[in-house]
Amino acid sequence: MWLWYASRAGGLLTLVLLTGTFVLGLLTSGRHATAHWPRFAVAALHRNLSLLTLVFLAVHITTAIVDGYVALGWIDVVIPFASGYRPFWVGLGAVAVDALLAVVVTSLLRTRVPPKVWRGLHWATYACWPIALAHGVGMADTGLWWVWVLLGLCAAAVLGALVWRSLRTHQDTMARAGVR
């Protein structure tokens, strides 16, 4: 039973960390900096939070498979919609894992990948996060109100960061055009 709890906790923590990583990525791409948080610190926090996200994703996946409560195999982690258990929702998790793996691999090879290729693949996070959230919603235990609050807070954080990033882009565009 403890593996089931570890899997659920690992999944929720992974989503929270992925949310933080996504928000920091938006702040980094928007060139966000303050006197206390220079851009290099935000970028370093983004990278380190990304690594921590991968650790808890591994915990989530491993405990879900090893638990044996439901029939999940290692192949279900990377082949979307192949699972016999909740194939759609587990499949969304597999899609999110695949997108995240593409981002991780290209980030590790960033110096060997053309910048446009890296940036294009890094945009996969724009698909990865909402798919991971949908996986969490579909797999969530509906009787636990705090899980829904947590999912809502993650969504609010990302929406807020997306709005900030969009406004920042608009302001930068207007400044380059000479409009005040």
pLDDT single digits (tens) 49-99: 999 999 999 999 999 999 988 889 999 999 999 999 999 999 999 999 999
pLDDT at 79: 95
Q: Which residues contact 132 (CB under 8 A, 6 or more apart)?
A: 14, 15, 18, 92, 93, 96, 100
CB 103 within 8 A of CB 124: yes
Over residues 33-51, the mean pLDDT reads 81
Over residues 115-135, the mean pLDDT reads 88
pTM of the model: 0.87
| Percent with pLDDT over 90 in the chain | 54
